[in-house]
Amino acid sequence: MAEETIFSKIIRQEIPTELLYQDELVSAFRDISPKAPVHILIVPNKLIPTVNDVTESDELTIGRMVTVAGKLAAQEGIAEDGYRLVMNCNEFGGQEVFHLHMHLLGGKRLAPL
C-alpha cells in the first residue's frame, strides 16, 4: 500500500484547509503555492500515487475530478475565458506529491505549452 500523503491529511481535515468541494470520491482545495490567480487542486479521496496506478475501478473517480473542475471553474468565474487542467506523473513529469491530483489553473492568459 502507498504511503499516506499531506493530501490524505487535508482530505480528513487533520490539516485545516478550506475545502472548496468534497464528496465521497474527491476533494478540492487551493494550492499553497499558486502558479495562476486561480490554482485549485482536485484530488481523489482514495490514495492513488500516480496516473500509472489508475485502474478501471478508478474511472468514476477520475471522471468526477473532471466534472468537479468544470463546476469550480464556473464558480471561480474562469470558465468562459478558459482554464487549464494538468496532471503530472512521476519525477520527470513534475509530480511533487505522490497522491494523484489535478491542477485547475486560470484567471489570466496562460502561456502555450
Q: Would you kindly state where each structural domain of the chain is located, as residue ranges?
A: 6-106
Neighbour count for residue 35 (Cβ, 10 Å): 11
pTM exceeds 0.85, yes or no: yes
pLDDT in tens, 46-84: 999 999 999 999 999 999 999 999 999 999 999 999 999
Of all residues in the chain, the percent with pLDDT exceeding 70 is 98
Q: Is the pLDDT of residue 1 over 60?
A: no
What is 6-106's CATH number, 3.30.420.280, 3.40.50.970, 3.40.50.360, 3.30.428.10? 3.30.428.10
**Phi, psi at 62, each rounded to 5°:** -65, -40
What 3-state DSSP class applies to 91? helix
- CB pairs under 8 A, 24+ apart, for 15-21? 20/72, 20/75, 21/68, 21/71, 21/72
Give the confidence band of 2 by pLDDT, cuts at 50, 70, 90: low
Average the pLDDT over each of 1-5, 82-86, 91-95 and give the range with the smallest value.
Answer: 1-5
The catalytic residues are 101
